[in-house]
Amino acid sequence: MRTDRLLIFSALIGLVLVAAPAFRALDTLPRTLTDDAFRQMISDFSEEGGYFRFEYMSNEREFQYVIPRLKEKTKPGGTYLGVGPEQNFTYIAATQPKMAFIFDIRRQNLLEHLIYKAIFEISANRADFVSKLFSRKIPAGLTEKSTVAGIFQAFRSAPPDDRLFAQNLQAIKDDLMKHRGFVLTAEDLSQMDQIYETLFRGGPGPGRNDLYGGGFARGATYADLMTETDGKGQARSYLATEENFAFVRQMQRQNLIVPLVGDFAGQKTLRTVGQYLKDHGAAASVFYTSNVEQYLFQQGDDWSKFLTNVAAMPLDSTSTFIRSSHMSYDNASGRPSRIVAGGNFISLLSPMQDLISAFNNGRLQTYDQVIQMSK
């Protein structure tokens, strides 16, 4: 009888282990990547570049509003996926993943992220980072306890410095090529020069700012976006605190923020990342899509290809999309009600599994339906 009970117990344990998602049992994401592995991953996972309206910075002024709810829905130590430039760093600081992958169809975005990577790596603190990002001397009186508003207020009177620009640009290239071993083409270096000069000429604000294709979100500057709050008065940008900044900097130094050239509707990059997560027993915890999905629904069946790619990724009940759109709200339901022209983007969350389930069951055909599943 005792032997029979042991056999039954062992069989039940075996069934539980088989039924449990592999990413819960394994979780072997690396704690750091060697420079060789980091460069190879960028090369192996990336696709050919394409075109999208070029921008150097985010233009979603209310992007922090979802962070309190996002932190409730997700747990630290997951995997972050995102698109576009620096806004990802704020979501990374908020969710504290083990590893992050940043996709963009433009190779320029990858080069911009390499610039950011180098600046993070060679910066001692937030004031030093802002100084190196925009080539302005650090104003007197700033400390690690300074508020983000205080930092940017101090930099308002700091003029652009051509000598610092040349010095910083060389330091960026040295960090990437001599320290990290990147082999950058003449075209890559020329584009990096252009990106960094745009940051230099635009500056953190105030005043005219050309960092975004048609201006920032309704005239907002980089300083405006970094000093925004979550709608409840708490600043949550990656420059809001030394702790936020230090977390992102450490991930950069460990090569755990991986920028990739990839098309959401492509057949390689998203699928390769999904397989990598499966191989390492990890789930996609957060996927920031900005408003890319809106364009995918305007490009034939690209939206279907994208969701097919996401459906192949390992997900769990906490996996969450962050998306943004020009929307108005229905005050009664608290949900977005319709797309409106102009105005600021609003950020929205939706469970990834719910959206994929609707897609697999044929209940998702339009971008409006995607938005209706978000709040």
Q: What is the pLDDT of residue 62?
A: 86
Q: What is the pLDDT of residue 57?
A: 62
Q: What is the longest distance spanned by two Cα atoms in the chain?
A: 85
Q: What is the pLDDT of residue 220?
A: 76
Question: Side chain identity at 212, as an amino acid letter?
Answer: Y
Cβ neighbourhood burial of 346 (10 Å; 0-12, 13-18, 19+): buried
Ranges of H-type helices in 156-267: 162-174, 186-202, 222-227, 242-253
Nearest-10 crossing angle of helices 242-253, 107-122? 110
Give me the residues of the chain with pLDDT under 70, please. 1-26, 51-57, 59, 206-219, 326-344
Three-state DSSP state, 289:
strand
Distance CA 347, CA 369 (A): 16
Q: What is the pLDDT of residue 137?
A: 98
Residue closest to 143 by CA, chosen among 216, 67, 241, 268 = 241
In the chain, where do the E strands start and end?
79-83, 99-104, 257-261, 284-290, 320-325, 327-330, 335-339, 346-351
Count of residues for the chain?
Answer: 375
Q: What is the pLDDT of residue 23?
A: 44
Q: What is the pLDDT of residue 147?
A: 97
